[in-house]
Amino acid sequence: MKYLFLAIFACIVMPGIAQKPAVVNVTTHNRTTIICNTKSGANPYPQWGVFPAANFSVRKIIMSVTLGSPLPDSMTTAHWDYLDHIMLRKQGGANGKTINYELGRMLTPYGSIYDKGWSWQWKVDVTDFAPLLRDSVEIDYVHSGYEAANVGWSLTINFEIIQGPPVVTPLGITPLWNKGYKYGDAKAKIEDSLLPVTYQAMAGDALNRIRIQHTGHGMDKPKGCSEFCQRWRELRLDGKLVDRRDMWKDCGNNALYPQGGTWVYHRAYWCPGDLQEPDVIDAFVKAGEHKASLMMEPYMATDNVQAVEDISAYLFHYSKPLQKNDVAVDKVLVPNDEQRFFRLNPASYDPRLYIRNLGSEDLKSVTVTYGTSGFAKQVYHWKGNLKFNETAEVILPGEIQMKEGKNTFTASLSKPNGKTDAWMGDNEVTTNFNSPISLPGEFVMQLKTNNKPADNEIYLTKLSDTLYKVKPASKDSNVIINDTIRLKDGLYELALTDTAGNGLEFWAEPQYGDGYLRLFDMNGTLIHAFESDCGDGEKLAFRASSKFVNDTTKAKYAFSLYPRLTAQNTELNFVSNTTSNMRVEITVDGKLYEKHEYQNVKNGDYVYSLSNLPVGRIILEVFMNGKSEFKGRLNKIARGQRRR
């Protein structure tokens, strides 16, 4: 169904004056427990929310989705990566309009290793749907999958609605393609169902925005489509190519890691544990009839034909941009304690942000004023060329000024193209961040390589200078490398990278061995451990200090569990900076099978037989002084079953 809008705006704009815009939060789902429906494979969770009235002028709407461990103590966090849809069902109450538009798409993480109290938040911009997010609206979270009712998630959905003048005037929405399309099926070719859509530009129509959510699913032969196959997609408007992209995503750099499944494997435009960012393609049009068409790379499966391209796409009709010079801070990546920027923070230097051009004039320059609360502001003059709605990453050179502990950072924009900004309410963003940890100026870096050491590289930097670098050769497999690092007081970053995207250890690939990266003081006491199951790698920002004192009252632990895909035994290795009482619990589907207790231990190697446990997923959890400090996923395979 197509929707036409009558725009009503009541907002006084005062150019050149930084306004703090009003913000309205609407929470539709508040820690709602969600589980699978094993009969239908889809379980809807509709909730109503009261949104601002039609005369409330909206600048931006951010939808946040939080998944956490389920509330009942009898339930554990769900295991599988399922496709969930967030739908706008109705507007105007129970008897209002039925809409059924997809607002967002959540791919659940592998949650078996997450304890009670765990949660993670994602965010996505849904401003395009602002005309429909008015008054009483029904939001439906549709959870898919076939897991048992004793596992699930707690779900929170919130809409942060920022008041301000719209960037463009919304005129209407035309649905384009909205279903699962078979792919590679000779009996149901995708080009016979993914058909072009003809539509009319509306009165005042100048900008057409096509917003696409698209994920691939299924596992056919020979390419593993559509979950594990690369393929391209083209979007044409009136026969002209306006967008072409490779429908593939690197999952080894996922902000949420590690997970209790095959999270590192690249997939067909999605990753486990991710709220998908939609593709947004803008095209300026003239009045009259237009045709939009979507085309997938030609492909034909040979066996196990089951591939599906799950697509939802809408065309938003807008006026031309309402202002000539209008710029916004889109987001600050560094420094920022938000979970979605976890891989980038804490950081020692080079604040990073994205700016967005919201004016009709190409943005060629803007002034960035930035700094940490309590320190002098700094100024950076950006130059480039951004067309309407385009973004650019801005890296602000230099160390991040900070005090120890909690800090606030502010970045603001001014003088786009040397002119007064049309609306300054979105020109400034403030973030909270924690300072990096402190380490001694002299310490030992210990690297245990796995069976593919040439995939890894470690480097130590200070600003743009690389002070130390080690790249093991292929012959250096399964060895321990100890290097003493000596540094002057100051801020540094130590990074581990993995070109294969499977870290130093990955449970599903025991053939590649088990590695780790740990730091010790000069007395041999643990001061930091990198996560081995880190996909593309991991970064540590730190302050080297000659006044560092290793506080052993604050326990630090490093764990290694290998192999995790095995028919017989697994071995737990751990190191700590203090003695503790250790308890190891081994469970299957929430049922405790074994418990082992050890008194006053500081390090050690412990072998556990899986012979009396059933084949399948097993969880090994380690409690130190009663607190859970490690939770690892294993898979027991049958004797004689081939490992990957």
Give the pLDDT score at 10: 41
Mean pLDDT of 285-303: 97
Handedness of CA 561, 566, 567, 568 (dihedral sign): negative
The model's pTM is 0.95
Q: Which residues face 538 on adjacent strands?
A: 496
Q: Are 375 and 435 in contact (CB under 8 A)?
A: no
Please state, rounded to an integer, the average pLDDT across all residues of the chain: 95
pLDDT at position 13 over 50: no
pLDDT band at 644 (very low <50, low <70, confident <90, very high): very low
Look up residue 325 and give its two tokens: 């010079």
**Radius of gyration from C-alpha coordinates of the chain:** 26
DSSP 261-294: SSTTS-BSS--SSEEPPPEEEEEE--SSEEEEEE
Mean pLDDT of 82-96: 96
* DSSP for residue 249: B
188-241 residue pLDDT tens: 999 999 999 999 998 899 999 999 999 999 999 999 999 999 999 999 999 999
pLDDT at position 123 over 70: yes
pLDDT at position 643 over 70: no
Query: Considering the domain 3-163 in this protein, what is its CATH number?
Result: 2.60.120.230
Q: Which residues face 241 on adjacent strands?
A: 236
How many whole angstroms separate alpha carbon 452 and alpha carbon 614? Answer: 31
- Identify which of 243, 304, 253 has the alpha carbon closest to the alpha carbon of residue 274: 253
CATH fold match for the domains 170-318 and 336-435: no
Alpha-carbon distances, residue 576 vs 200, 251, 580 (angstroms): 67, 31, 9
Q: Are 496 and 534 in contact (CB under 8 A)?
A: yes
pLDDT at position 6 over 90: no
Give the pLDDT score at 1: 65
Give the pLDDT score at 217: 98
Burial of 611 (0-12, 13-18, 19+ CB in 10 A): exposed
How many whole angstroms separate alpha carbon 232 and alpha carbon 299? Answer: 11
Mean pLDDT of 525-540: 98
pLDDT band at 74 (very low <50, low <70, confident <90, very high): confident
Local structure of 233: helix, strand or coil: strand
Give the pLDDT score at 18: 54
Give the pLDDT score at 247: 97
pLDDT at position 349 over 70: yes
The CATH architecture of the domain made up of 336-435 is Sandwich (2.60)
In sequence order, which residues have a C-beta less than 8 Å from that of residue 44 and are 6 or more positions away? 140, 141, 142, 143
pLDDT at position 12 over 50: no
Of all helices (H) and strands (E), which one includes residue 369? Answer: strand 363-372
Mean pLDDT of 402-426: 98
pLDDT over 90, % of the chain: 94
Q: Are 61 and 160 in contact (CB under 8 A)?
A: yes
Local structure of 415: helix, strand or coil: coil
Q: Are 342 and 335 in contact (CB under 8 A)?
A: no
- Identify which of 61, 143, 147, 62 has the alpha carbon closest to the alpha carbon of residue 112: 147
Give the pLDDT score at 642: 57
Q: Are 390 and 356 in contact (CB under 8 A)?
A: yes
Look up residue 276 and give its two tokens: 């998908």
622-635 residue pLDDT tens: 999 999 999 999 99
> Where do the structural domains in the chain lie, given as residue ranges?
3-163, 170-318, 336-435, 438-636
pLDDT at position 16 over 50: no
How many whole angstroms separate alpha carbon 57 and alpha carbon 63? Answer: 17
- Identify which of 250, 183, 175 has the alpha carbon closest to the alpha carbon of residue 213: 175
249-267 residue pLDDT tens: 999 999 999 999 999 999 9
Domain over 170-318 is classified CATH 2.60.120.230 = yes
Q: Are 533 and 604 in contact (CB under 8 A)?
A: no
